[in-house]
Structure 1
């Protein structure tokens, strides 16, 4: 454990963290919560701004129909404190412009050592000397402006948003459909996938979508039966017939199979040839050149000593754990109950980092784009772990 440093910072003041994302240069960290607020933190984890991103939509009877919960965050551009950020709740995607603000603070009656003096004390010490105000710059804060809203396309709840590598398009997915958007147009969305047409009868729904990190024409989406599909927009613009299908065939046909096989998160690995995916019990590495079976299967819940019926009744089996590939290393990181798990590309569990003494789910996390560190959420707090070279050798 001497190779790991940790930081713990409160971030949302009691409200549950629902997603988090580093900017592309790593200088900003955006954290979304269940009340529709995005918290903006600098690299030293100092909060420098908030965005009231989403609010509760009410029906004619004043009942909530759409939660304000921030479900997805994705940075478009970033340069220091200036950035563009996508956010979404269940139905609406918004594009935000973030920019720094420096306010000047005017100070009166400041003595030489910085002591603040009341008027009578000041006049007594200075023998009725004229008070000259001083000005200094305050700490930098960030403000935001909503540039565009993308809405009206999704009838089901949006589960993921992913930016294409051309920085001109992005994709969004719900249970049944995936749309391709032009960033400069919010009045039109192109339907890439319609699950009602491609899967008959509908025995599965879409759980996530991800664009390739360097090839803007390649899109990945996952489903509740453990299937990963790859669409190539050079081949066809409508991806109802995907270019590649990666399907894990379970040996059992139990009642809980669909729940434990559902892929909650998937990512293209930086090596370009692999995909890493997380379901409830395992992390699977897929070689993109071989779709017949996973290259590696890692059981990350082997220490979970609970009956399947208990997991089902408590709804813990529906937990959507994320998995993230590190940009400069041959390993990934994922969450568990009260722990963060590091896994090598060869399937070896490098470390299990205990975070809390409770069975708290570690669901949301992101890796820093330029350093060997990961930030993850524990209910209403964030933690950071930094890995040094000793641990990676």
Structure 2
């Protein structure tokens, strides 16, 4: 996602304004445009923005693209005010690669690095934390997967493999040494490798922090001012110069802190951080998992709509969202246009929702296309938690949960 700062443009703030001679008619104008919109070159697929998210205080704006990159913009810190209103110009703050393309060795398919969603955690100190996710994990639903932990020996792990992405085929165990770490494990010749060293990275926690860059002023006591070598002993010794650290420009670092993997079988469509700032949920087509942000190797399945027979599947989960103030309440939407409100105090597995919101469809108007356009693509709570907003292909609905 190329965002050249030289191509940014700013006009009046993006606020409703009353045009002259038009009464109370409102007109919206762009406050700022990032990127070059006048070029004749079409953007590459990797540069297409896939998600946008503001921080809670509005000071930072994060965008993710199909190339797996995250670009963070910061609101202007110069303190400039225009007509008594602080300027809303945003400048590039940090850019980093969040996800890399992966390969599903079981299905011989590439997994996109596209960023599906970004969520900001509430700021508690000088650093900022964001959670980002890409499409899916590598583990298919009907496969018996065994996790084998091996410690490297003097001659390696004691097995050899065959296949790989360069050959267009999965990875298989070709040979196991008679003596070695793999000899006493559950591995067998012909077993297929689905993941090595936890490469199924899906949800990541990133720390965005600032630090001053400093470097020494060159007083290393190696040579004298005239270029001659410095002697530290005897009569020819010269005074020592203590090196000093000189402050330079402020740099922004994005460092990965957690990787939450191997918990989803299907495409991840949404993540949502709880109001307690300790847990978050991640939802795929058929399941919703609950995570603690300090624990990466364990999650709890709180919603599972997968039928025993996949031929009986009639709907999939399209989005999930936590309540902004009640840490035990969340909602998820489905492709049938149904919104289910769940309370985790009622049951560990929220198969039975506390409330269900569904718009009754006229049987006379029911058709193949009506079922498609009724699919809810997103669900959000208002900031005060009193309203529930949903969006399908044609409409935006506002509901009152009355929790």
TM range (shorter): 0.5 to 0.7
User: Alpha-carbon deviations, 1:26-54, whole Å to 9, x = none?
Assistant: 22111101100000110132112112110
Q: Aligned partners of 1:59 and 1:271: how far apart in 2?
A: 42
The CA deviation at 1:102 is 3.1
User: Alpha-carbon deviations, 1:175-224, whole Å to 9, x = none?
Assistant: 00000011111111100111125999321100000000000100100011
> What pairs with 1:154-169 in structure 2 (closer than 5 Å)?
154-169=264-279
**Match of residue 185 from structure 2:** none
Q: 1:9 aligns with which of 25, 34, 38?
A: 34
> What pairs with 1:1-393 in structure 2 (closer than 5 Å)?
2=17, 4-5=28-29, 6-10=31-35, 15-44=47-76, 45-60=90-105, 64-78=109-123, 82-91=127-136, 92-103=202-213, 137-138=248-249, 140-197=250-307, 201-251=312-362, 252-289=365-402
With a CA cutoff of 8 Å and minimum separation of 6, indicate the structure with the bigger relative contact order: 1
Q: Aligned partners of 2:210 and 2:309: how far apart in 1?
A: 47
**Match of residue 349 from structure 1:** none
The CA deviation at 1:258 is 2.0
SS of the aligned residue for 2:371 comes to helix
Change (3 A) 1:27 1:80: farther
User: Alpha-carbon deviations, 1:78-135, whole Å to 9, x = none?
Assistant: 268620110100120001111113336999xxxxxxxxxxxxxxxxxxxxxxxxxxx7
**Match of residue 331 from structure 1:** none
Q: Aligned partners of 1:167 and 1:231: how far apart in 2?
A: 19
CA contact (8 A) 2:135 2:269 kept: yes
Q: Aligned partners of 1:164 and 1:182: how far apart in 2?
A: 10
**Match of residue 353 from structure 1:** none
SS of the aligned residue for 1:258 comes to helix
Q: Aligned partners of 1:41 and 1:58: how far apart in 2?
A: 31
Question: Unaligned 5+ residue runs, structure 2?
Answer: 1-15, 19-27, 38-42, 77-89, 137-201, 218-245
**Regions of 4+ moved over 4 Å:** 11-14, 59-64, 104-107, 197-200
**Match of residue 348 from structure 1:** none
Higher strand share: 1
Change (3 A) 1:17 1:106: farther
Question: Unaligned 5+ residue runs, structure 1?
Answer: 108-134, 291-393
Q: Aligned partners of 2:356 and 2:96: how far apart in 1?
A: 39
Q: Aligned partners of 1:70 and 1:283: how far apart in 2?
A: 24
CA contact (8 A) 1:40 1:49 kept: yes
The CA deviation at 1:246 is 0.5
Which has the higher mean CA deviation after the structures are superposed, 205-214 or 20-29?
A: 20-29
Q: TM-score under structure 2 normalisation?
A: 0.60
Q: TM-score under structure 1 normalisation?
A: 0.61
